[in-house]
């Protein structure tokens, strides 16, 4: 029995802190324990061993869990990131840009730069309205839509201001006008066009919806 107890004590001592081992070894060597004392000593050793392992496990877990803390600068950068939008960016071919410039030149010759941009805007507004073609070429060449197409002046080379006005209308997010019609009140003979609601006047043109 003594041999078994000694072997068990040695095994348990391997898992004990050095101070506990020295204390236990001294106790075993200095005195002969009774069965009751041996049992009491074993219980005490087991309790200390369990406590030590629990403490080590808790410390290990604490080391594993490290909360990620963003710096104030990082949090600010996250807030400043631009939000994604679903706005569709229109793209136009070079031939469409040139055609629009020629129409502006033919229709708004002698008008202010603002008036030229407004004429280009009317064409673009029509591409987004029901009842009209959805392309620049389709709108301009729609039957009886624009007089320059009928009389051939659409084929004239545009001046620099007409080109710039067309470019601005194509690139700007805000149109110069919301109108889908325009006419010269001094020369227009069509009663129907005169019946449209006027939204603004720019130079010699009236813009209507």
Joined tokens for residue 182: 């325009």
Residue scoring higher pLDDT (176 or 46): 176
C-beta pairs of 169-173 under 8 Å, 24+ apart in sequence: 169/100, 169/117, 169/120, 169/121, 169/123, 169/124, 170/90, 170/92, 170/97, 170/100, 170/120, 170/124
Confidence grade of residue 8 (pLDDT, cut at 50, 70, 90): low
Confidence grade of residue 173 (pLDDT, cut at 50, 70, 90): confident
Say yes or no to pLDDT of 150 above 60: yes
Domain boundaries, the chain: 94-177
Residue 136: which of 176, 92, 106 has the closest Cα? Answer: 92
Per DSSP, the three-state class of 32 is coil
Candidates 1.10.287.3510, 1.10.10.2520, 3.30.420.40, 3.30.465.10; CATH matching 94-177 = 1.10.10.2520
Mean per-residue pLDDT over the chain, rounded = 77
pLDDT digits (tens, 9 = 90+) for 75-91: 444 455 444 333 445 68
């Amino acid at each position: 029995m003594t041999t078994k107890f000694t072997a068990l004590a040695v095994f348990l001592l391997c898992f004990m802190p050095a101070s506990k081992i020295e204390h236990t070894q001294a106790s075993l060597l200095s005195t002969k324990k009774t069965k009751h004392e041996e049992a009491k000593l074993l219980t005490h050793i087991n309790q200390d061993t369990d406590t030590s392992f629990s403490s080590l496990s808790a410390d290990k877990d604490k080391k594993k869990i490290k909360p990620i803390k963003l710096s104030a600068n990082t949090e600010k950068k996250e807030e400043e990131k631009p939000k994604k939008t679903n706005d569709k960016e229109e793209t136009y071919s070079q031939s469409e840009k040139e055609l629009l410039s020629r129409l502006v030149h033919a229709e708004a010759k002698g008008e202010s730069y603002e008036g030229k941009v407004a004429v280009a805007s009317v064409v673009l507004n029509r591409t987004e309205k029901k009842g009209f073609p959805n392309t620049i070429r389709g709108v301009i060449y729609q039957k009886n839509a624009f007089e320059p197409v009928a009389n051939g002046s659409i084929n004239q080379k545009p001046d620099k201001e007409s080109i710039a006005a067309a470019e601005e209308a194509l690139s700007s997010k805000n149109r110069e006008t919301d109108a889908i019609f325009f006419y010269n009140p001094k020369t227009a003979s069509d009663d129907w066009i005169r019946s449209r609601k006027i939204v603004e006047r720019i130079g010699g043109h009236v813009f209507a919806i």
